[in-house]
Amino acid sequence: DAKTTQPNSMESNEEEPVHLPCNHSTISGTDYIHWYRQLPSQGPEYVIHGLTSNVNNRMASLAIAEDRKSSTLILHRATLRDAAVYYCILRRYGGSQGNLIFGKGTKLSVKP
Amino acid sequence: NAGVTQTPKFQVLKTGQSMTLQCAQDMNHEYMSWYRQDPGMGLRLIHYSVGAGITDQGEVPNGYNVSRSTTEDFPLRLLSAAPSQTSVYFCASSYSAARTGETQYFGPGTRLLVL
């Protein structure tokens, strides 16, 4: 599986936008970009995923660079509840396995 | 739906004891998996199953056994617990293993302490 690189930690103020970067310079054409987050003392939860185009859902937006070597998860208005570890994960299209390969992620702190 | 459930929530074992961590899902998902998470680390895959009767090893399978006799259940067995198995264990499921857009649903975790 292709590797992703994320900052260890980031800080944000409540109600401000947050941009969480992810580098994946070895991404292949069939790799989907997935984001999960893990709130304290909970299991991970799905946030968003995309292949080439930018994606929006009720939780966040995903901006994917034109060359797909990087992406950014955007939380439009951070809340205290968004404090979590955010994982950027690549999943290969057509694979027979649904395995998610987790890195260490980015720990997001949100200040009131 | 209850989603993915795990029992127990917390367990203390002595070295050499055996136990089974239970995982169940009521979403008729084909794919189920077990991860462990050590402090400050991401999750590492232990074993996974793409359907009843089919299991395979993940990144860190040593010391753990699994079986999948039904679609709903995917228990994880520790045959002889070791302190190195102290960790938080998460079970996950998704409808299909083959579709990369599938969302995986995670259980709340089992915190295991081996003395």
- Shortest Cα distance, chain B CAs vs residue A36, angstroms: 9
Among candidates A85, A50, A76, which has minimal Cα distance to A65?
A: A50
Mutate to test the interface with B, among A97, A101, A106, A107 (most CBs of B within 10 A): A97
Do B98 and A96 make contact, defined as CB atoms within 8 angstroms?
yes
What local confidence, expressed as pLDDT, does residue B106 receive? 95
CA B63 to chain centre: 13
Give the whole-angstrom CA distance, residue B29 versus residue B33: 11
Q: Do B92 and A103 touch (CB under 8 A)?
A: no
pLDDT at B97: 65
Site of tokens 């939380």:
A75
Q: pLDDT tens digits for A20-35?
A: 999 999 888 888 899 9
Sequence-ordered strand ranges (E) for chain A: 9-13, 18-23, 31-38, 45-50, 55-56, 61-64, 70-75, 84-92, 106-111
pLDDT value for B95: 85
Q: Which residues of A touch B (CB under 8 A)?
A: 32, 36, 41-46, 49, 87, 91-105
* Chain B environment of A8 (Cβ under 8 Å): none
Query: Residue A102: its pLDDT value, please?
Result: 87
- Please state, in angstroms and as integers, the Cα–Cα distance from residue A91 to each residue in A62, A97, B10, B94, B102, following that order: 15, 9, 31, 14, 10
pLDDT along chain B (115 residues), means of 10: 93 97 95 92 91 92 96 97 97 78 89 97
Express each pLDDT in B1-10 by its tens digit: 789 999 999 9
Report residues of chain A scoring pLDDT below 70: 1-2, 93-98
Q: How many CB pairs under 8 A join A and B?
A: 69
Contacts of A98 in chain B (CB under 8 A): 31, 33, 48, 50, 94, 96-100, 102, 104
- pLDDT score at A30: 80
Residue A31: what pLDDT? 85
- From A42's Cα to the closest Cα of chain B, the distance in A is 5
